[in-house]
Amino acid sequence: MSAAFDFIYLASQSPRRSQLLQQLGVRHDLLLPGAEEDAEGLEAEIAGESPETYVARVTEAKLDAALARLAARGLPAAPVLCSDTTVAVDQQILGKPLDSADAFRTLRLLAGRSHRVITAVALGLGERRSVAVNVSLVDFAPLRDEQIQQYIDSGEPFGKAGAYAIQSQAAAWISRIEGSYSGIMGLPLFETAQLLRQWGVRF
């Protein structure tokens, strides 16, 4: 199939997602929320929702908001890519830490056990939507309280689901992963490439 699109919009403030798209060779422009938008409000949890359902719902809500933004700004038509990542222990969703104490509780919970990193990616334009979900398993080694505190003091946990980033010094704690390294970073490249091909995006 001949390529229908030469570029996409990335509706994400994550520099890691932009870097991962660059790794695929995907031309993209950022389509970020304006000050009038409640971007954080889209990530509110619903009681009883599984982490997998939560991530897919939030990603689609981000996509709807981004498509409205695209129309409101009168920008050229191109597919919009959104993504959301969360960390889960059993059915407990571990989002971005609220403060140092929350980050400490999260990392103490992850220490010495396995958790899931769930990332959804969605591509949309007009009425068309495509969504894929990647689930990876990550094993953390046991951690001492002072190791956790030192990591929190670095500022790295903030703004990150599960209070850590795999490409940071926390990588020294990860004894095993099963799944997608790029998905754990925030954008599963295998699933993303599949969606882009389905849409005829050149990369």
Q: Which pLDDT tens digit goes with each residue over 22-35? A: 999 999 999 999 88
Domain boundaries in the chain? Answer: 8-198
pTM score above 0.75: yes
Q: Report the half-sphere exposure of 124 (CA within 13 A, side-chain side).
A: 24
How far is 196 from 83, CA to CA, in rounded Å? 14
Architecture of the domain defined by 8-198? Alpha-Beta Complex (3.90)
Q: What is the mean pLDDT of residues 137-153?
A: 97
CA pair distance 179, 134, nearest whole angstrom: 8
Contact indicator for 8, 170 with CB cutoff of 8 Å:
no
- For residues 113 and 106, is the Cβ–Cβ distance under 8 A? no
Mean pLDDT of all residues belonging to the chain = 95
Instruction: Say what the pLDDT of residue 11 is.
Output: 97
> Which residues does the annotation mark as catalytic?
84
- Hey, which residues does 135 pair with through a beta bridge? 118
Q: What span, in angstroms and rounded, lies between the C-alpha atoms of 184 and 198?
A: 23
Per-residue model confidence as pLDDT tens digits over 71-130: 999 999 999 999 999 999 999 999 999 999 999 999 999 999 999 999 999 999 999 999
